[in-house]
Amino acid sequence: MNGMLNVGIIGLGRIGCIHAENIIHNFQNVRIKGIADLGLNDDMIVWVKNLGVPYWTKCYEDLLADPEIHAVVVCSPTNTHWTIVIDCIRANKHVFCEKPIGSSIREINDVIAELENSINKRLKVQIGFNRRFDHNFQTMKKTIESKQVGQPHILRLTSRDPSPPSLHYLKLSGGIFFDMTIHDFDMARYLLDDEIIEVHADGSVLFDLRLRELDDIDTAVITMKTCQGAFVIIDNSRQAVYGYDQRAEVFGSSGQAVVTNDTSSSIVVSNKEGIHSEKPVHFFSERYKQSYITEMQQFYDAVLTDKVVPVTVYDGLQAVKIAKAAQLSFKNNRRVNLIEISDNEDADLKNGTILEKTINQTSTNRFTIDSLENGINLHEPVP
């Protein structure tokens, strides 16, 4: 590679555009060699040209066939991730894949098997759980690791979007636990450095009646227990009218630590009308702008120096297992132990036979990109 990393980007929805612009403006030793999107149109081609990208295509296999491309950034719809990642591994390309890597445990196990069987043992696959790279949450993790709050007893995570996404996006999202809460599932494991063993999820449709047709919900509360006995409480909403609400609190044997919302300024105005401060920044692209850059920098460093990636396929697998447990808990209104989630969880969930188990015991194969929606809430058109 001679210190220069050539990458291809698959999918030009909102998150694909964010990654492309970040690469162009922040990395001197990384070059976008090509971009693929099945829905490529004239406006998108103009945008790609303005970035200075040499070529574009509707077929992602063209990128994989290019010997000059070393790594691929997968930003396509969720149901295409696992097949594309497997194709990338077979083509000997390093992979950065947006969450989740697959919608079932079987799919992710297929990716793991493909990676383990690859002739190139230096090949890297990193999953895009960007919140791990947020400055606030990284500071909280260091605080927990340094025992400033003692042994963690309770972790509370709040994640609320400013407004619900389009109906088209919701149909492809996999549901709130896989689309939205999955970030919180990963954050719980990351912050506590512990595994989740038990999940209870509840929720309802409180404002977005469209979701009733999709067997989905707009508001959820999830409680979980870790191996070391700590409790995790997550609350989600798809509509916080005051902005993008992203907070965390850890309570431990020696104290507590709190992460509050980022705002455009820290000013607080006090007058006879009251005390006023800024609302939270509007959405994820503003709140987590730097985290997207940092996660990509660490991916490139892992590729160029043969380091272990900071977010592995195993991390992606565990987040999906927790999401499956939450889905099952909500469906059957009961507490679910993670040991119940097996490789056959899809069939178990569909026919309900998992209820008969003891505690001790939909995806497409072809690539179909929707250029406007790709596994991240999208409320704006492609630039």
d(CA 321, CA 102): 11
- Report the chain's mean pLDDT, rounded to a whole number: 88
At residue 334, φ and ψ (nearest 5 deg) are -155, 165
* pLDDT confidence band for 363 (50 / 70 / 90): very low
- Over range 347-359, report the average pLDDT: 41
Homologous superfamily (CATH) for 132-283: Dihydrodipicolinate Reductase; domain 2 (3.30.360.10)
State residue 361's pLDDT score.
Answer: 34
Q: How far apart are the first and last CA of the chain?
A: 31
Span 264-291, pLDDT tens digits: 777 788 888 888 887 787 777 777 899 9
Span 165-179, pLDDT tens digits: 888 888 878 899 998
Using an 8 Å Cβ cutoff, are 13 and 372 in contact? yes
- Over range 30-40, report the average pLDDT: 95
Span 226-255, pLDDT tens digits: 999 999 999 999 999 999 999 999 999 999
Architecture of the structural domain at 5-130+289-312: 3-Layer(aba) Sandwich (3.40)
Cis? peptide before 54, omega within 30° of 0 = no
Q: What angle do CA 232, 238, 242 make, to 5 degrees?
A: 100
Do 5-130+289-312 and 132-283 agree at the fold level? no
Using an 8 Å Cβ cutoff, are 378 and 164 in contact? no
* Selection from 7-16, 185-194, 254-263, 278-287 with the highest mean pLDDT: 185-194
State residue 264's pLDDT score.
Answer: 77
Using an 8 Å Cβ cutoff, are 198 and 224 in contact? yes
Q: Where are the domains of the chain?
A: 5-130+289-312, 132-283
Residue 112: partners with Cβ closer than 8 Å, 6 or more residues away: 313, 314, 317
- Over range 301-324, report the average pLDDT: 96
Q: Is 52 exposed, middle or buried (0-12, 13-18, 19+ CB in 10 A)?
A: exposed
State residue 1's pLDDT score.
Answer: 59
Tokens of 378: 């999208």
* 138 or 103, which is more confident: 138
d(CA 29, CA 295): 16
